Chains A and B, each alone.
Chain A
Amino acid sequence: MIRNSIRFKASILYTSVLFVILVIFSGVLFSVTRYVLYQGLDDELRLKSSEIVNILKSYEKLSRSETPHQHLLNKLLGIEDRARLIVDDLWRSDMDALNLKKDYIVILDFQGRPIIRSQNFDAETARVFQEQLPLSVDFMVLKNIRKTGRPFRALNLPFLYNSRNLLVIQIATPMDAVIRMLNQLLYFIGIGILVILGITSFMGGFFTRRILRPVLNVTRIVDNISHKDLNRRIPEMAADAEMRQLIRSCNAMLERLEKSFAHVNEFSSHVAHELKTPLAIIRGEMELALSRTREPAEYEQVLQVSLEEVNRLIRIIKDLLLLARLDYNPDVFQFEKIHLTAFLEEIYEYTHILAEQKGLFSELRLSPAFQASPNQSVIEGDKLHLRRLFLNLINNAVKFTPKGGKITVSLAVSGRSAEIRVADTGVGIAEKDLNRIFDKFFRSGSQKQAEPGSGLGLSMARSIARAHQGDITVHSRPGEGTVFGVILPVIFSVPDNN
């Protein structure tokens, strides 16, 4: 499994999360068990001690005449008397009933002197008790002690004998069983965690592989798609919703890629075609001129034609470069605030000059409100590029309007958008061509010009309008004229009184 794979990471994640949960759970389980077992041990100790105390107290009646010291001393010294025999029997049977063979028991007076001890209570035990279980005559004390490495639970319990004498019972019981039980529990928990983690990491890996199988399939298919078969699509197999979404996104991207590839291909073929025509003319002219000796005037004519075609080539290349910049590099625009009316007057100035040269009439149409307040509408725009846009439109209008026609430049503002219109009374554009005139290199059938343009002017105009968050529209009737409208957003405008 690759270290940096989702499968590996998911497996590690499942396993670690589960590990933490299991450790916390086991820790709680272990602590509770330990607490319960200790509690049981303590209860047992308390019960034993109170039983012993009760047994001792039952001797009070038998030895009312004697001091407890005397009686107990008698007992220790083995002095025979009736009471002692009875007590001894009682003690032994009671002790047996309490199952105290493994426990160390000692009864001390309030100064810590031992009065009575169990048979197994040797000097070593006395030392351990003295060191690890300090005498307390006021409180019951429960404590863990160790004797030669073995753990014991020990109790120190003060009590009153004969209502006068303060005695202390100290009792220690081995914890081996409890410790063994706890160790076993710990062992089972450890094994259990390992087994569970093993199973989960295997299952996690298995399920992640199943979940991720479609990803591998998609990867394989996408890997095999090259620019030659961009029409291929990833089949939407029976996968999960997220995976289907991924496949759909991939397919949508492929579709966009295919379209742009087709577009680029078509565009390159257009470019080649556009560049080859002038070159064919230059080559033809030259070959024809060289086919026999010519008069100097004829050579001059060839050079003239060649120069025109070279200029055409340069114009096409320049426009192509500019268009590429406009479309893909918005930084070429330097936006500033432009007063629409002032700008419009500048545009009209060009129109007037160009129209007059060709013998056309021209008109600027501004509403009276605009004339009264020149600051009415302000747009954010790049003056240089906007000028280029309108020059293209005006040049077209002049080019396609026969002598005696009229070019009208007008402005209309509604709300947050302004529309500048350039209208002519020229040849117009056929309806079938209207939606194609903004395509690169498209030339309408009515375009019969002595000097053809680059075929890019209107594409450029549209790119510039769109870079200003605006657009360009066209309305035309063959034989009647054409109206181009450039819509630009207005950033500031005084309410129009019209």
Chain B
Amino acid sequence: MDVLVIDDEQKIRKIFSSLMQQQGFSVRAADSVAAAYDMMLDDPADLVLLDINMPEVDGIFFYDIATTFCKKSKFIVTSVYALADQRQMVPGADAYYDKSDSLAELVRKVRHLMPSSEQPVRG
């Protein structure tokens, strides 16, 4: 099981990567849509943590493209926007996470989508 973290904020990438590693996933991280696009073409990830508001190409466009050729991948939109706004901006994603919520909340959402992996997290 592997996770792709897409976020332009380096510190967020680092936190999410550490968290996912703790959960037993193999983790890749991309700082832009362009980089993520290459990675997904190369080897589609099982789970994508996708930021919306990024410079250059927005996460919304990435979601539209990636969902057409990586049908098996699950997508969790991670952003500082309120959940209702996120649902409006990227309709149809598998889950939505407000970055200012606790990491345990993110883990719960990840676990919901990927029940097979091990190691619970303390939050």
Report which A residues bind B (CB closer than 8 A).
272-273, 276-277, 279-281, 283-285, 287-288, 290-292, 305, 309, 443-445, 447-448, 450
| Contact of B102 with A288 in the complex, beta carbons under 8 Å | no
Residue numbers in A under 8 Å from B121 (CB-CB): 291
| Contact of A287 with B102 in the complex, beta carbons under 8 Å | yes
Report which B residues bind A (CB closer than 8 A).
8-12, 15-16, 18-19, 22, 31, 53, 55-56, 80-81, 99-100, 102-104, 121-123
Which B residue's beta carbon lies closest to that of A433?
B55
Q: What's the count of A-B pairs with C-beta under 8 Å?
A: 57
Contact sample, A vs B, 25 pairs, CB 8 Å cutoff = A273-B53, A273-B80, A276-B80, A276-B99, A276-B100, A277-B9, A277-B80, A279-B100, A280-B80, A281-B9, A281-B11, A281-B15, A283-B102, A284-B12, A284-B19, A284-B99, A284-B103, A285-B15, A287-B123, A288-B18, A288-B103, A290-B122, A291-B121, A291-B123, A292-B122
Q: Which 8 A-B pairs have the closest CB atoms?
A: A445-B56, A276-B80, A280-B99, A284-B15, A445-B55, A287-B103, A281-B11, A280-B100
Residue numbers in A under 8 Å from B12 (CB-CB): 277, 280-281, 284
Q: How far is the CA of A391 from the CA of B53 in the complex (A)?
A: 28
Which B residue's beta carbon lies closest to that of A287?
B103
* Complex partner residue of A288 from B10, B19, B53, CB under 8 angstroms: B19
Residue numbers in B under 8 Å from A277 (CB-CB): 9, 12, 80, 99
Q: How far is the CA of A83 from the CA of B81 in the complex (A)?
A: 137
Q: How far is the CA of A276 from the CA of B85 in the complex (A)?
A: 15
Q: How far is the CA of A117 from the CA of B64 in the complex (A)?
A: 131
Q: How far is the CA of A445 from the CA of B57 in the complex (A)?
A: 8
Distance to closest chain A CB from B62 (angstroms): 14
Residue numbers in B under 8 Å from A450 (CB-CB): 10
Q: How far is the CA of A273 from the CA of B53 in the complex (A)?
A: 9
Residue numbers in B under 8 Å from A309 (CB-CB): 11
Distance to closest chain A CB from B118 (angstroms): 15
Residue numbers in B under 8 Å from A447 (CB-CB): 55
Distance to closest chain B CB from A140 (angstroms): 108
